[in-house]
């Protein structure tokens, strides 16, 4: 029994190492620019070992995508409470995005800087759609109470997320530090754009 548990733990460690290596390389070289042998080398496993866990590079890309997107979804879900006003809920979501970026910069960069469409499978698309639908529901609920301006929820979300991604990119370029005070100021500005 102990040996079986040890083998499961080793398999989980190898899978995690492969995912981490792929995430790093996809950020550095792009999905299309990353050869599988390099992922294996960075993960510290044999080239054939990857294919025990992922049948193809596309399967690996989907696993990385789903891991990142589900991590973001869990992070948001753990913080957002249905008892909050729309303004409070927006503040919680905005700060949760920042916390997720701060704590998982590689995952955020991967999600936001790559065109994933060429390899995403139905599960990855459904995962992404679920995250987006939850945010659309938040916007729709805020609109129903009169707290958020009218308009297509997807457009309002694009505007708000675009502002956040812009902060991340400009901070990465060294124009300012993306710290709590910048995030707080930006939150107020974006809420001013969203509120009714």
- Spans of all domains in the chain: 1-54, 65-194
- pLDDT, position 5: 47
Please check the confidence at residue 40 and state whether its pLDDT lies above 80: yes
Q: Alpha-carbon distance 81 to 146, whole Å?
A: 19
Q: Name the percent of the chain lying above pLDDT 70.
A: 94
Q: Alpha-carbon distance 116 to 31, whole Å?
A: 8
- pLDDT tens for each residue of 128-168: 999 999 999 999 999 999 999 999 999 999 999 999 999 98
Q: Alpha-carbon distance 25 to 176, whole Å?
A: 26
Please check the confidence at residue 8 and state whether its pLDDT lies above 60: no
4-8, 12-16, 138-142: lowest mean pLDDT where?
4-8
- pLDDT tens for each residue of 67-126: 999 999 999 989 888 889 999 999 999 999 999 999 999 999 999 877 787 899 999 999
Across all residues in the chain, what is the average pLDDT? 91
8-12, 54-58, 72-76: lowest mean pLDDT where?
8-12
- pLDDT, position 9: 46
CA-to-CA dists, residue 11 to 8, 18, 21, 57, 187, angstroms: 5, 11, 15, 19, 42
Name which residue leads in pLDDT, 13 or 63.
63
Encoding tokens for residue 88? 């409070």
Q: Could you tell me the CATH superfamily of domain 65-194?
A: Tetracycline Repressor, domain 2 (1.10.357.10)
- pLDDT, position 137: 93
Write down the pTM of the prediction.
Answer: 0.88
Topology of 1-54 in CATH?
A: Arc Repressor Mutant, subunit A (1.10.10)
C-alpha 160, offset from chain centre: 15
- pLDDT, position 11: 54
């Amino acid at each position: 029994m102990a040996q079986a548990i040890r083998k499961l733990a080793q398999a989980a460690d190898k899978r995690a190492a492969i995912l981490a290596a792929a995430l790093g390389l996809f950020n550095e070289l792009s999905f299309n620019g990353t050869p599988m042998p390099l992922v294996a080398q960075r993960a510290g496993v044999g080239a054939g070992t990857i294919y025990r866990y992922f049948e193809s590079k596309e399967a690996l890309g989907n696993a990385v995508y789903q891991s990142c997107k589900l991590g973001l979804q869990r992070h948001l879900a753990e913080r957002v409470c249905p008892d909050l006003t729309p303004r409070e809920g927006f503040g919680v979501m905005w700060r949760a995005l920042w916390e997720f970026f701060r704590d998982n910069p590689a995952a955020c960069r991967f999600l936001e800087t790559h065109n994933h469409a060429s390899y995403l499978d139905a599960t990855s698309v459904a995962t992404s759609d679920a995250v987006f639908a939850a945010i659309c529901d938040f916007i729709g609920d805020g609109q129903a109470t009169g707290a958020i301006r009218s308009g297509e929820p997807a457009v309002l979300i694009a505007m708000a997320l675009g502002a956040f991604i812009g902060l991340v990119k400009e901070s990465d370029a060294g124009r300012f530090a993306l710290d709590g005070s910048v995030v707080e100021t930006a939150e107020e500005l974006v809420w001013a754009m969203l509120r009714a």
